[in-house]
Amino acid sequence: MAAPAVEATAATALRSVILRARKAAERVGRDPERVRVVAVSKTKPVALIRQIYDAGHRCFGENYVQEFIDKAPQLPEDIEWHFVGHLQSNKAKTLLAGVPNLAMVHGVDGQKVANHLDRAVSSLGRRPLKVLVQVNTSGEASKSGVEPSSVVELARHVNMQCPNLVFSGLMTIGMPDYTSTPENFRTLTNCRAEVCKALGMSEDQFELSMGMSGDFEQAIEMGSTNVRVGSTIFGPRDYPKKTT
Contact 181, 175 (CB under 8 A): yes
Kindly tell me the sign of the dihedral angle through the C-alpha atoms of 224, 227, 232, 237: negative
What's the pLDDT score for residue 239? 59
Kindly tell me the sign of the dihedral angle through the C-alpha atoms of 40, 46, 52, 57: positive
Q: Strand, coil or helix: what is 201?
A: coil
Q: Each residue of 188-197: pLDDT tens digit?
A: 999 999 999 9
What's the pLDDT score for residue 244? 45
Tell me the C-alpha distance between 185 and 165, whole Å. 25
Q: Each residue of 201-234: pLDDT tens digit?
A: 999 989 999 999 999 999 999 999 999 999 999 9
Q: Each residue of 15-34: pLDDT tens digit?
A: 999 999 999 999 999 999 99
Q: Strand, coil or helix: what is 136?
A: coil
CA-closest candidate to residue 118, choices 166, 150, 65: 166
Of the candidate ranges 5-19, 37-51, 210-224, the one whose mean pLDDT is the lowest: 5-19
What's the pLDDT score for residue 5? 56
Q: Each residue of 71-82: pLDDT tens digit?
A: 999 999 999 999
Q: Tell the burial category of 117 from Cβ atoms under 10 Å away from its Cβ (0-12, 13-18, 19+).
A: buried
Q: Each residue of 73-122: pLDDT tens digit?
A: 999 999 999 999 999 999 999 999 999 999 999 999 999 999 999 999 99
What's the pLDDT score for residue 7? 60
Kindly tell me the sign of the dihedral angle through the C-alpha atoms of 31, 221, 134, 170: positive
Under the banding of pLDDT at 50, 70 and 90, the label for residue 174 is: confident
Contact 139, 131 (CB under 8 A): no
pLDDT score of 43 more than 70? yes
What's the pLDDT score for residue 40? 97
Q: Which residues pair with 169 in a beta bridge?
A: 132, 207
